[in-house]
Amino acid sequence: MITAVFGDALLDPATAELTPRAVVLIEDGIVSARGPRSQVTVPKDAGVIDGEGLTLLPGLIDAHVHLRSRGNGRDLGEMLQTPPSLWVLNAVPAARATLEAGFTAVRDAGGTPAGVKLAIERGLFPGPRMQVAVTALSQTGGHTDQHFACGISLSPQLPDVPSSVVDGVEPMRQRVREVIRAGADWIKLCTSGGVLSPNDSPHHATLTVDEIRAAVEEAAAQGRQVMAHAQANAGIKNALRAGVASIEHGIWLDGDAIEMMLDGGRALVPTLVAPLWVIRHAEQGRMPKWAADKGRAVFEDHKASIRLAIEAQVRIAFGTDTGVGPHGSNGEEFLLLRELGMSPADCLRAATTVAAEVVGWKGRAGTLEPGAWGDLIGVPGNPLDDLELVARPDNVHLVVQGGEVRKDRR
Ligand SMILES: [Zn+2]
């Protein structure tokens, strides 16, 4: 099965080059050729997707989402009355909204069981290609310990999601093995406190370097890497010392932390929109006061930290923490990255070539070179001239995944 996608132009994020009057050939879901129409021979029996008026570019990648979370704020009463099966089904509309916003591949940073990824792969419902962390591990009282002062824990108990709370080196080894057994592609650790957790502070480091190192070793033994929710400066440095591959959020980077990141070529996934959505939800009365206060307190520091990282040319992969904010709103992160000094070309690379390298999809996603998945989007203009074209889901007119049309709103 061969499909030819025609566009007014084709944008290669790697080089920022624009090819006018372009075509992408997709054969059995994989790109077989791409370039100007004058140079690509389109077989007579090829199916045609006409992207007239559109600039084509590779499908976007979000390296930090939570498809199982609704993204409409945190209502503790509602959480108490949500059965775990309903929590999982939240991922169905979330996956569709993400895909229709142009994000054809994501790394889920915890909370979403592997069954969601398998269901999408089997075509049960539309969604992005996924890598999943299954759960995010933290220490007792840490970021994913949703134990409240009254004694109730608000973590939904799913049979194929191991407990997120773990203390000590040997228990960490066993838990990482359990998370991998549950289908995890990535191991997610919380090496600092966070905003949406009742018992900790984003300023404090959590888990010891030895605990983190044990997780990194166990992950590596089975071909996985570790991503660290790391906001506190000490938590960032502990994670880097122990060998994690990516720092998520990175609210308090300093010169030393940036040196450590540059040294190992480690990636930073800023998720700048996340605290913004905590504040927005709080304004709508859908956020507990302690979380709203923490979100407001970190917002400006977060921006200053990411600005430093951009200036130092730290490797930045696009990620949004969507699930805090609404699914499909992912593209707003582009505008925040640009506001902090990132060029439009680097913004697009963060969500294509760089994210693909970081997540482990180099050559498959974030590019339309032959051999890549046939995942592309079409927007009415060049996003390098106007990032709004990828920032707003309505501007993403065409979404193709594996050569199949997933959205065509013309
Ligand atoms: Zn997250």
Q: For 70-79, what is each residue's pLDDT tens digit? A: 999 998 898 8
Token pair, residue 24, equals 């992408």
pLDDT of residue 7: 98
280-294 residues labelled b (16+ CB within 10 A) or e (exposed): bbbeeeebbeebbeb
What's the whole-number mean pLDDT along residues 67-86? 92
CA–centroid distance, residue 75 to ligand 1 (Å): 18
What's the whole-number mean pLDDT along residues 286-309? 94
CATH no. of 2-59+366-408: 2.30.40.10
DSSP 138: B
Q: How far apart are CA 319 and CA 215, in angstroms?
A: 22
Q: How far apart are CA 303 and CA 191, in angstroms?
A: 20
CA–centroid distance, residue 302 to ligand 1 (Å): 15
CA–centroid distance, residue 65 to ligand 1 (Å): 6
Q: How far apart are CA 24 and CA 56, in angstroms?
A: 9
**Residue 199: pLDDT above 90?**
no
pLDDT of residue 157: 84
Q: How far apart are CA 165 and CA 126, in angstroms?
A: 32
Domain borders along the chain are 2-59+366-408, 60-359
Q: How far apart are CA 65 and CA 94, in angstroms?
A: 10
R_g (Cα) of the chain, nearest Å: 21
What's the whole-number mean pLDDT along residues 189-203? 92
CA–centroid distance, residue 39 to ligand 1 (Å): 44
User: How many CA atoms are closer than 13 Å to the CA of 311, on its beta-carbon side?
Assistant: 10
CA–centroid distance, residue 36 to ligand 1 (Å): 40
pLDDT of residue 178: 98
Q: For 301-337, what is each residue's pLDDT tens digit? A: 999 999 999 999 999 999 999 999 999 999 999 999 9
Torsion angles phi and psi, residue 378, rounded to 5: -125, 130
Contact present, 7 and 51 (Cβ < 8 Å)? yes
CA–centroid distance, residue 193 to ligand 1 (Å): 12
What's the whole-number mean pLDDT along residues 47-53? 97
Q: How far apart are CA 200 and CA 104, in angstroms?
A: 34
CA–centroid distance, residue 117 to ligand 1 (Å): 17
CA–centroid distance, residue 140 to ligand 1 (Å): 18
CATH 3.20.20.140 assigned to 60-359 = yes
pLDDT of residue 264: 87
Token pair, residue 77, equals 């009463």
**Residue 380: pLDDT above 90?**
yes
pLDDT of residue 410: 79
DSSP secondary structure of 235-293: HHHHHHHHT-SEEEE-TT--HHHHHHHHHHT-EEE--THHHHHHHHHHHTT-S-HHHHH
CA–centroid distance, residue 194 to ligand 1 (Å): 9
- Whole-structure pTM value: 0.98
**Residue 59: pLDDT above 90?**
yes
CA–centroid distance, residue 94 to ligand 1 (Å): 15
pLDDT of residue 101: 98
Please list the residues that pair with 34 across neighbouring strands. 24
Nearest Cα neighbor of 261 from 216, 291, 306 is 306
User: How many CA atoms are closer than 13 Å to the CA of 134, on its beta-carbon side?
Assistant: 26
Q: For 224-236, what is each residue's pLDDT tens digit? A: 999 999 999 999 9
**Residue 198: pLDDT above 90?**
no
Q: For 1-28, what is each residue's pLDDT tens digit? A: 999 999 999 999 999 999 999 999 999 9
pLDDT of residue 155: 83
Cα 247 to Cα 270, 287, 311, 344, 395: the distances in Å are 8, 25, 17, 22, 30
What mean pLDDT value characterizes the chain?
A: 96
Residues with CB under 5 A from ligand 1 (ion): 109, 321
Token pair, residue 164, equals 């997120």
Token pair, residue 49, equals 């997707």
Q: Which residue has the higher pLDDT, 63 or 197?
A: 63
Q: For 242-283, what is each residue's pLDDT tens digit? A: 999 999 999 999 999 999 999 989 999 999 999 999 999 999
Nearest Cα neighbor of 51 from 34, 28, 29, 32 is 34
CA–centroid distance, residue 403 to ligand 1 (Å): 30
CA–centroid distance, residue 328 to ligand 1 (Å): 16
**Residue 239: pLDDT above 90?**
yes
Percent pLDDT > 70 in the chain is 100
What H or E segment, with its residue span, contains residue 179? helix 169-181
**Residue 68: pLDDT above 90?**
yes
